[in-house]
């Protein structure tokens, strides 16, 4: 019997009765928020979790409970260094993982930044596109050979993809006025398109890829927003919701926010989630690009799942990072 999960489901709900003993998982961004809870839930159910983080000292402190729950659940947890804003660090991390030869059953590309001031990664890419997309693009493709048949890639995207499609002519805002949320939207759309293209390339060998929206959660991701910015955004959302006769917006807890990535990586049917976008522990409907959509209503923009668009982003990403991936 298949259990139905939803917006209020937690990581423990979706993993109830599930043993992940013998499974090996990579989770990026395990120094705070969703990454820590994702790693904890998987390790607590027996998985060997490799957590990647830029600041290992911070990650060590943040994952004390992960280690404790891993020990109780017969799982394992270890850390590796990864700075997604530095392709030298990304390649070194991939080399370290490849050197072990140990396969992965699940890769969750969770790390990211949101609404940062205008800036560049070490390699000269706009900060959000470079960190959220290009860093993961290089890492995942470099370790793709470690993903065994039946493995999955889960890219943590956002409803923020609705702010903007990718701009393949000006990805670094060299000719476009910079807007932090437009940049965020571009990077989150890229996360989805990357999953679409990766799924198309690897499904024949039994490896699937999907993208997920965790929901609205108060985490360190909001640290670049101005004082009162979150409150103002919620007020606008609730004003629209009231006009439509809908209940007010409620933030998810971190275990609820991490649930969709865990569900898509472990519980959801591979053919259902592969090449798609998920939210609230289910596959989202596609909303045509010309149809109105609010920040909190369900659905994914059609441009984010367009396979031709996904291939164009793949080619542009290869050009930008100077590497070709099959």
Residues recognised as catalytic? 184
Considering only the C-alpha atoms of the chain, give the largest distance between any 2 of them, rounded to a whole number of Å. Answer: 56
- Give DSSP secondary structure letters for 173-209: -SSS---HHHHHHHHHHHHHHHHHHHHHHHGGGT-EE
For residue 89, what are its two tokens?
């660090």
Chain mean position to CA 11: 15
Are 160 and 115 within 8 A, CB to CB?
Answer: no
SS3 for 299? Answer: coil
State the Cα–Cα distance between residues 162 and 242, nearest whole angstrom.
21
State the Cα–Cα distance between residues 255 and 194, nearest whole angstrom.
25
- Candidates 143, 124, 192; CA nearest to 28 is 143
For residue 14, what are its two tokens?
């979706």
Q: How far is CA 188 from CA 6, 98, 165, in A?
A: 22, 27, 9
Phi, then psi, of 17 in degrees rounded to 5? 80, 5
């Amino acid at each position: 019997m298949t259990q139905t999960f939803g917006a209020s489901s937690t990581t423990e709900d979706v993993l109830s009765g599930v043993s992940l003993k013998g499974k090996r998982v990579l989770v990026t961004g395990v120094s705070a928020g969703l990454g820590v809870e994702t790693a904890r839930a998987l390790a607590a159910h027996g998985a060997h979790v490799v957590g990647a983080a830029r600041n290992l000292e911070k990650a060590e402190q943040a994952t004390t409970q992960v280690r404790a729950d891993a020990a109780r659940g017969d799982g394992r947890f270890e850390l590796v260094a990864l700075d997604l804003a530095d392709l030298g660090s990304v390649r070194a991390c991939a080399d370290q993982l490849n050197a072990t030869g140990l396969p992965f059953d699940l890769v969750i590309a969770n790390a990211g930044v949101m609404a940062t001031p205008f800036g560049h990664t070490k390699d000269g890419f706009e900060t959000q596109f470079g960190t959220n997309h290009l860093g993961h693009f290089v890492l995942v493709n470099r370790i793709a050979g470690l993903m065994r048949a039946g493995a999955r890639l889960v890219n943590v995207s956002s409803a923020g993809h609705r702010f903007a499609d990718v701009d393949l002519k000006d990805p670094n805002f060299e000719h476009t006025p910079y807007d932090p949320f437009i940049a965020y939207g571009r990077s989150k759309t890229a996360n989805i398109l990357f999953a679409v293209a990766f799924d198309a390339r690897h499904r024949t060998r039994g490896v699937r890829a999907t993208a997920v929206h965790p929901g609205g959660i108060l985490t360190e991701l909001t640290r670049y927003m101005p004082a009162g910015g979150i409150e103002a955004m919620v007020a606008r959302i609730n004003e629209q919701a009231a006009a439509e006769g809908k209940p007010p917006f409620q933030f998810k807890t971190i275990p609820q926010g991490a649930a969709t990535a865990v569900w898509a990586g472990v519980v959801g049917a591979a053919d259902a989630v592969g090449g798609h976008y998920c939210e609230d522990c289910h596959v989202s409907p596609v909303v045509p690009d010309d149809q109105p959509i609010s920040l909190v209503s369900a659905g994914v923009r059609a441009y984010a799942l367009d396979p031709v668009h996904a291939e164009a982003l793949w080619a542009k990403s290869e050009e930008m990072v100077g590497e070709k991936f099959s």
